[in-house]
Structure 1
Amino acid sequence: MSDAAYRGRFAPTPSGPLHFGSLVAAWASWLEARRHSGAWLVRIEDLDPPREVPGAAEAQLRTLARYGLLADEPVVRQSTRHGAYRAAVEALLDAGLAFHCSCSRRQLAASAGIHRRCLVPVDPNRFAIRLRVADAEVCFDDRLYGRCCEAVGRDCGDFVLLRADGLYAYQLAVVVDDAWQGITDVVRGADLLWSTPRQRLLQRALGLPHPTTLHLPLVLDPQGRKLSKSDGAADIEREDPCSVLRAAWAHLAQPADRLSGCRSVSELHVAAQQHWDCTRIQPAALPEATRNVIDAV
């Protein structure tokens, strides 16, 4: 299979070191890009300084390099892209598709954080900017999970694009940057599957293309929870890369014997590219808790 127009990406948040779940997503997205003779990009999603760990971004890039995962183009950091996000917000405001709001988390508690209307007058000194969301369902076709639909107005409401503290929301930034970088295919963990309907709404509102999605089954800890950098999931930087890559290959339901005889990272990559088949991956239950997001100023 060859598609020179294919452009994929891996976009970690610098809230801690890369863990095994991160490596699974990174390698799968890299393999899909290589399978389609396309480009693989890395974008650091450093939108929220209070949540960042100093030096985490550099450590993540160092770990990716140790595992042989090097971006085909210069790494982009979202902290340098605020002008583009501001332009997108202003375009939505000008079109009447977004609005200013001073509702607090506490004021939205009665609706479980779902914003359907402003409860207070806008405070000119403290407000967020939200997207206007209609009641209609948003549907998309995921390459693993098939047809997925969500009533974003019911489950999320009018979600935040720019927080009252001046920080841009993930949903806005990822849509703007995927379009700017020409991303055609998004391969990521299934915990982000229910972000896709909100991103589709933003793409429609901004007149941007919809990348194809492939959401991967999550790597879970012994308690059945998603591995998380912020929760101290084990750092893979000092692990044996060949062993970790073999474990990732197994998690992705690929036959172990396809990598037999490989003794180095480069040999593993060569064999993996030859035998990678994403259709072997089986969908797991989606984490429903990710659908409702308490989103306030």
Structure 2
Amino acid sequence: MKDNKMQIIKNESLSKVDEKFCELKKNKKLALMPFIMAGDPNIEITSEILLKLQENGADLIELGIPYSDPLADGPVIQVAASRALKAGTNLRRVITLLESLKGKLKIPIILFSYLNPLLCFGFEQFCEMASNAGVSGLIIPDLPLEEANEFSKKVSDHSMDLILLVAPTTPFERMKKISNNTKGFTYLVSVTGVTGERNKMESRLENLIAKLKRINSNPIAVGFGISTPEHVNRVREWGADGVIIGSAFVKRISSSSKKDVVDHVGEFCKDMRLAADQKK
């Protein structure tokens, strides 16, 4: 009886992101996490794309907040952010969009934003509004580890996870600190440099995944540069728990007409779902 009670307490403490990774692990599935830029090409089509991604096999979705001075984004995502800003997208409109999809979007939504827009908006107010809109997690790529604890507590107080990034060049001791302080999962950046499609995966990723697995039991999701079924297969074979695909989705949005964009993105998501589910 005591053990059952402890299990219930433990389960109640799980976040939505935790629950999703537990479900996927139980079913021996690789988490598929598309990234798209909110408001590209406009906020209405973003709404349709989010629902289509969910319908076609996405387990979680990373939704970018457009920003004029990105640090980690490559050309494809930078241009997408510019298009979204020109279309009038801002933080408040993104939250309003997610509020309108409550009850329709069942999978965890993770917002990706640089720190400055959140501070200008008011971080506490942002957390409250994002949580009320159904957001499950937050990624702030330019938030230093040394300041993460303060922000992580505020995010957790609103039932969301602050997810931290580990780069290939991160020293081992710092990697341990990041991995021990992230919530939901560890975001492993697959390459040095900015986002963007690559021709091949770096083999050192296998060792990085193994290192992170030794540090703790956090799920590990690999992002940056992943764009083909072969990349997805490789990430799964190396023991990661999830794969994040950004520029390849954003590129299909930019190259499609407004009439066809939702279907084109949906078909690509189906292809990546098949790759994620492919057995050895």
TM-score normalised over the length of structure 2 = 0.29
Q: TM-score, normalised by structure 1?
A: 0.28
User: Could you say which structure has the larger radius of gyration?
Assistant: 1
Considering fraction of residues, name the structure with more helix.
2
